[in-house]
């Protein structure tokens, strides 16, 4: 497959105008200004289009599409304990499967080619991801409320079982990480044991960190440490870790995150909606910390519109410094693509570069709100909308093209999601 006469966001995040991009065997085989001599099974005209690396959603809860719009205008703790947790008690495998597929359909439509996810019912999530054709780092999010042996618990066994069954399956599209829900839902013995196990498999960890001021204050009261200090003390950051949120960081936390190469997954819309606060992205970037973008779950966002998320990411943190120079469009585009790929341990994706995975998004930039073009990158972050995505490609396979899903039965999924949600609400 080859795209011709198309604008390309190249590996340096600069624009190559009217270029050519070819894919072969799931990889980007050619990027250049001249048409290669080879013949291709499909030629796609790219005038008025832009091709970019696929977006990497660095923090999500895919099955929570079933809770879209359920429990609004509440702070995080009230939202979790009065709405989310009671609803989740009634979830079953079928609900998880269709909820995950619904989120994946939305993600693919908005150009997300890979997602880092924390939830449970791993068999159903793995099945949905595999069928969709998308990529994901899934994880069995665990909590542990007593001082019993964590590794003997059913949650730990589910976590390990998922890793052994699904890690690096679906031709490498599906990876399995370890996951702690948070400091406040997990006792020290569980944190230590999970960190130790993750070291033995050379694995990765996903965890919620310092999402609210209340969380940080209570952690200091319990342990005499911030959540970042606490997780570091127990060895979590000795393995590659994605720390979601990181809204309420203290000065010493930045040193730890930098020293341990922790990725911060910022979720600006969710944090604003729940009034949790605004992540200090400027300070993170100044310290050279890898920063990626997440949507969080649909229940607290309330969509997976990654173009929208990029804009809020870019503008929300500027108030922290009271200066517009912080968090540039290029910073934002890197956070949306290559930085997320780094967080997932996917070393050959996230850039448009020969030899990299053909995880790509084609956008229609021939729109009134994208004109005039002083900077394609600026327009992409500040002016584009999610529906500008025309095509989503993973490993060279087209998953979505101009409203048509290639791998997902969207009518069936939306019907089942509605039906299952009504059944659950009737039980609460």
Enumerate domains of the chain plus CATH numbers: 2-53+357-405 (2.30.40.10), 55-343 (3.20.20.140)
Contacts of the segment 79-83: beta carbons below 8 A, 24+ positions apart: 79/274, 79/300
Three-state DSSP at 134 gives coil
Phi-psi region of 396 (alpha: psi -120 to 50; beta: other; left: phi over 0): left
Q: At which residue do the structure tokens 């809204």 appear?
A: 247
Across the range 419-424, mean pLDDT stands at: 96
Lowest-pLDDT range of 14-28, 67-81, 145-159, 275-289: 67-81
Q: What is the mean pLDDT of the chain?
A: 97
Helices (H) and strands (E) in the chain, counts: 17, 17
Query: How far is it, in rounded angstroms, from Cα 222 to Cα 186?
Result: 12
* Gyration radius from the chain CA atoms: 21
* pTM of full prediction above 0.95: yes
Helix or strand run (H / E) with residue 324? none
pLDDT tier, 79 (very low <50, low <70, confident <90, very high otherwise): confident
| 8 Å CB contact between 255 and 221 | no
**Exposure of 85 by Cβ count < 10 A (0-12 exposed, 13-18 middle, 19+ buried)?**
exposed
The pLDDT of residue 321 is above 80: no
Query: How far is it, in rounded angstroms, from Cα 94 to Cα 161?
Result: 19
CB-facing half-sphere around the CA of 374: CA atoms within 13 A: 4
Backbone angles phi, psi at 15, to 5 degrees: -100, 125
Where would I find the H helices in 53-133?
A: 76-79, 85-88, 93-109, 122-132
């Amino acid at each position: 497959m080859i795209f011709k006469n198309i604008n390309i966001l190249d590996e340096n995040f600069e624009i190559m105008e009217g270029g050519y991009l070819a894919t072969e065997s799931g990889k980007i085989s050619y990027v250049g200004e001249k048409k290669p001599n080879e013949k291709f099974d499909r030629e796609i005209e790219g005038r008025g289009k832009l091709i970019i690396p696929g977006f990497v959603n660095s923090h999500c809860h895919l099955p929570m599409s079933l809770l879209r719009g359920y429990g609004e205008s509440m702070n995080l703790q009230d939202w979790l304990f009065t709405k989310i947790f009671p609803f989740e008690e009634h979830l079953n495998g079928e609900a998880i499967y269709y909820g995950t597929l619904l989120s994946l359909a939305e993600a693919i439509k908005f150009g997300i080619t890979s997602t880092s996810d924390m939830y449970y019912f791993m068999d159903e999530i793995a099945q949905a991801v595999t069928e969709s054709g998308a990529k994901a780092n899934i994880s069995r999010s665990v909590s542990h409320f007593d001082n019993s042996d964590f590794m003997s618990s059913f949650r730990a066994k589910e976590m390990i079982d998922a890793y052994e069954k699904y890690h690096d399956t679906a031709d490498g599209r599906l990876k399995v990480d370890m996951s702690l829900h948070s400091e406040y839902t997990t006792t020290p013995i569980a944190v230590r044991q999970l960190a130790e196990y993750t070291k033995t498999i050379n694995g990765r960890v996903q965890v919620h960190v310092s999402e609210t001021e209340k969380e940080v204050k209570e952690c200091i009261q319990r342990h005499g440490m911030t959540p970042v200090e606490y997780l570091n003390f127990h060895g979590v950051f000795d393995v590659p870790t994605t720390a979601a949120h990181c809204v309420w960081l203290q000065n010493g936390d930045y040193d730890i995150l930098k020293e341990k190469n922790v990725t911060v997954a910022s979720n600006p819309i969710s944090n604003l909606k729940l009034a949790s606060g605004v992540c200090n992205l400027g300070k993170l970037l100044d310290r050279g910390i890898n920063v990626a973008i997440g949507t969080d779950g649909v229940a607290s966002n309330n969509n997976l519109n990654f173009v929208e998320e990029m804009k809020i990411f870019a503008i929300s943190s500027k108030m922290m410094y009271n200066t517009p120079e912080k968090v540039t469009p290029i910073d934002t585009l890197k956070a949306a693509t290559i930085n997320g790929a780094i967080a997932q341990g996917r070393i050959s994706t996230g850039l448009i570069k020969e030899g990299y995975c053909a995880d790509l998004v084609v956008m229609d930039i021939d729109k009134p709100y994208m004109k005039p073009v002083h900077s394609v990158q600026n327009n992409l972050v500040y002016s584009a909308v999610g529906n500008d995505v025309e095509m989503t490609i993973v490993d060279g396979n087209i998953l979505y093209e101009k409203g048509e899903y290639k791998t997902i039965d969207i009518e069936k999924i939306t019907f089942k999601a509605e039906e299952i949600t009504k059944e659950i609400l009737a039980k609460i």
